[in-house]
Chain A
Amino acid sequence: MNDADLIREFRNGNIDVFSELVAKYSRPLTIMILRIVRDQEEAKDISQTVFLKAYEGLPRFMLASSFKTWLYSIALNAVKDHLRKNRKARMVEADPDQLEDSSESPADRLDAARMSKNLREAMEMLPEKQRLTFQLRIYENLDYKEIARILGGTAGGARGNFFQAVKTLRERLIGWNGDERTGL
């Protein structure tokens, strides 16, 4: 059964089919949230809240968009709330041991770790929409139409936000003590 069939089943009272939607979307959705909030427990809590909202909102969901888009919109709103509450959240330290490419020399790995850390800090300073657009484009490989549907606005606007995010990130990274700090 596709999503629309499952939703119709759910509306007809077969609430057990919700577990099929959870099975299909819980991992990609939670990982998407994890890539933004960078904390497993927080990602788990946000993702569960999203599915709970979907469970309660499904009877009113009119199938105007795909279930995935609707679910991701709920998720991004929950992530935005989370980011606002944690605006002064700790900067996650990049752990060189977590970097997977063991072919790199220790110096390269440290550079990469420093680069990642600076990049995350710079991303956290971006305006919310630019940051989320950048992350959805880079991490989730969503196209601009999809990003616009999820975050609101137009595909052109999303493209503009991505461009602005890349530009600002580069400027910020270069601005921070020159190349020594940024790794650029």
Chain B
Amino acid sequence: MNPIICREAEELIVEDLDEGLDPGGKNRLENHLQTCSKCVRMREDMRMMVAAASSDMPQDPNEDFWKSFDRGLEARIREREPAKRNRRLWQVALPALAAAGIIIAVFGLTIDRHHPGVGKMSATSDIVIDDVHQIFGPSRDELGPSMNSGITMVLNGVTDEAVVRWFEVEDESSQSFL
């Protein structure tokens, strides 16, 4: 067996103090220590130091400390909770708002594509009214109150088929409830 040098002995001493050595390592260390007073001193120093560190514990806090700890922690969590809840709300609300915006935008564009009049009502309304005049005659406003015998409904920007035709409003007095 090769004799170990002091540097290796130092590692073995720390290991022995820490986790313990296997029998082979222990044997090698003891053999070295029999011939090296410097390493014997080193082992004593380290043993004393580790023991001092292990016993140098601060006093455990008393019960008041732990009560105060729990109260303080609870208060700090509650303090954070509203902000966290608001963050959570925004985390949900923002995508929802974004989705709503996209739906509105897509829906609007679709209507615009199918019904070009929408959004250009002021430009197209005169044309629509002219068309209506040609087909159905002037509206009741243009004819004056005496001619008001029906209702004209024009859906802005839609085609002629969608124009609700004149229809007679039944005189309520003529209705019989018998």
Q: Do A and B come from one complex?
A: yes
| Interface positions of A (Cβ within 8 A of B) | 18, 22, 26-27, 30-31, 34-35, 38, 40, 44, 47-48, 51-52, 55-56, 94, 98, 101, 112, 115-116, 119-120, 123, 134, 137-139, 162-163, 166-167, 169-170, 173-174, 183-184
- Given that A52-B76, A52-B80, A167-B14 are known contacts, is A44 also in contact with B69, CB under 8 Å in the complex? yes
Chain A residues with Cβ under 8 A from B72's Cβ?
A: 44, 48
Residue interface mask B52-67, A partner, CB < 8 A = 1: 1111111111000110
- Asked if B77 contacts A166 (CB within 8 A), the reply is no
**What 7 A-B pairs have minimum CB-CB distances, sorted nearest first?**
A116-B56, A48-B73, A184-B45, A138-B53, A115-B52, A163-B14, A166-B14
Interface residue? B70 (CB, 8 A): yes
- Asked if A139 contacts B69 (CB within 8 A), the reply is no
CB distance from A165 to the nearest CB of B (A): 9
Interface residue SS majority, chain A:
helix
- Asked if B11 contacts A56 (CB within 8 A), the reply is no
- Asked if A27 contacts B50 (CB within 8 A), the reply is no
- Given that A27-B66, A35-B57, A163-B14 are known contacts, is A56 also in contact with B84, CB under 8 Å in the complex? yes
CB distance from A49 to the nearest CB of B (A): 8
- Given that A137-B18, A166-B14 are known contacts, is A119 also in contact with B73, CB under 8 Å in the complex? no
- Asked if A26 contacts B18 (CB within 8 A), the reply is no
- Asked if B49 contacts A116 (CB within 8 A), the reply is no
Bound Cα distance A57, B80 (Å): 13
- Given that A38-B58, A51-B73, A163-B14 are known contacts, is A119 also in contact with B53, CB under 8 Å in the complex? yes
- Asked if A40 contacts B46 (CB within 8 A), the reply is no
Select one of A18, A48, A98, A138 contacting B69, CB under 8 A: A48
Chain B residues with Cβ under 8 A from A26's Cβ?
A: 66, 69-70, 73
Bound Cα distance A97, B61 (Å): 16
Chain B residues with Cβ under 8 A from A98's Cβ?
A: 59
CB distance from A75 to the nearest CB of B (A): 14
Select one of A34, A52, A119, A134 contacting B52, CB under 8 A: A119
Nearest-neighbor residue (CB-CB) of A135 within chain B: B53
Interface residue? B2 (CB, 8 A): no
- Asked if A166 contacts B50 (CB within 8 A), the reply is yes
Select one of B45, B50, B59, B73 contacting A174, CB under 8 A: B45
Bound Cα distance A27, B58 (Å): 14
- Asked if B48 contacts A138 (CB within 8 A), the reply is no
Bound Cα distance A184, B48 (Å): 7
- Extra contacts, 19 of them, besides A34-B61, A44-B69 (Cβ < 8 A), are A22-B70, A22-B73, A27-B66, A30-B61, A31-B60, A31-B61, A34-B58, A48-B69, A51-B73, A94-B56, A101-B55, A112-B52, A112-B55, A116-B52, A119-B52, A123-B53, A139-B54, A170-B42, A170-B49
